[in-house]
Amino acid sequence: MSCAETFMTYALRAIGIGPRGLPKVDITLCDQVVLIGSGMLWNLYFAVLALLVGFMFANGLAFAKGAPSPLVRKPAQWFIFLFRGSPLFIQFFLAYELFVMLPRDGINLLGLHLPTGNFTRAWLGALIVLILNTSAYSAEIFYGAMRAVPKGDLEAADAYGITGWARFRRITWPTTLRLAWPAYTNEAIFLFHATALVFFSGFPAWQQKGDALYYASYFAERTFNPFVAYPVAAGFFILVTLCIIGVFGLVNRRLNRHLPQQSRTRLRVRPKVIR
Partner 1 sequence: MFANCADPDSLQGLAWLACYLTTGKHMLFYRSFGTVLALLVITAPVALAFGFGGAMAARARFAPLRAFGKLYTAMVRGVPDIIFFLFVPLALDQGFEWLRHKVKCPDWDEPIRQGADFIVCQAAKLPLNSDPQWVHETYGFFLAVLAFAVVFGAFAANVLSGAMNAVPHAQMETAAAYGLTPRKSFWRIMVPQMWIYALPGLGNLWLILIKASPLLFLLGVEDIVYWARELGGAKTSQYSYPHPDWRLWYFLGLLVFYLALTGLSERVLGRLTRRLSRGQATALGAQMGRDT
Least separation, in Å, of the C-beta of 175 and partner 1?
A: 22
Are 81 and 249 spatial neighbours (Cβ–Cβ below 8 Å)?
A: no
Least separation, in Å, of the C-beta of 45 and partner 1?
A: 16
Q: 59 vs 135, which CB is nearer to partner 1? A: 135
Question: At 32, which helix (H) or strand (E)?
Answer: helix 29-65
Q: 32 vs 59, which CB is nearer to partner 1? A: 32
Q: 165 vs 224, which CB is nearer to partner 1? A: 224
Give the count of beta carbons closer than 10 Å to the beta carbon of residue 172.
18
- The residue type found at 258 is H
Q: 163 vs 225, which CB is nearer to partner 1? A: 225
Are 161 and 89 spatial neighbours (Cβ–Cβ below 8 Å)?
A: no
Phi first, then psi: give them for residue 113, nearest 5 degrees.
-95, 120
Least separation, in Å, of the C-beta of 257 and partner 1?
A: 27
Least separation, in Å, of the C-beta of 151 and partner 1?
A: 17
Q: 171 vs 180, which CB is nearer to partner 1? A: 180
Least separation, in Å, of the C-beta of 190 and partner 1?
A: 8
How many Cα atoms within 13 Å fall on the side-chain side of residue 216?
A: 23
- 114 DSSP β-pair partners: 107
Task: For residue 265, give the DSSP letter.
Answer: P
Are 195 and 49 spatial neighbours (Cβ–Cβ below 8 Å)?
A: no
Specify the length of the chain in residues.
275
Using CA of residue 143, residue 145, residue 150, residue 155, what is the dihedral sign?
A: negative
Least separation, in Å, of the C-beta of 102 and partner 1?
A: 11
Q: 61 vs 189, which CB is nearer to partner 1? A: 189
Least separation, in Å, of the C-beta of 245 and partner 1?
A: 9
Binding site for partner 1 (CB under 8 A): 81-82, 84-91, 93-94, 97-98, 100-101, 189, 193-194, 196-197, 200, 213, 216-217, 220, 222-227, 230, 233-234, 237-238, 241-242, 269-275
- The residue type found at 116 is T
Q: Is 107 helix (H, G, I), strand (E, B) or coil?
A: strand
Phi first, then psi: give them for residue 106, nearest 5 degrees.
90, 165
Are 126 and 46 spatial neighbours (Cβ–Cβ below 8 Å)?
A: yes
Phi first, then psi: give them for residue 102, nearest 5 degrees.
-60, 145
Q: Compute the distance between CA of residue 49 and CA of residue 55 in angstroms, rounded to an integer.
A: 10
Least separation, in Å, of the C-beta of 182 and partner 1?
A: 14
Q: 51 vs 171, which CB is nearer to partner 1? A: 51
Q: 56 vs 98, which CB is nearer to partner 1? A: 98
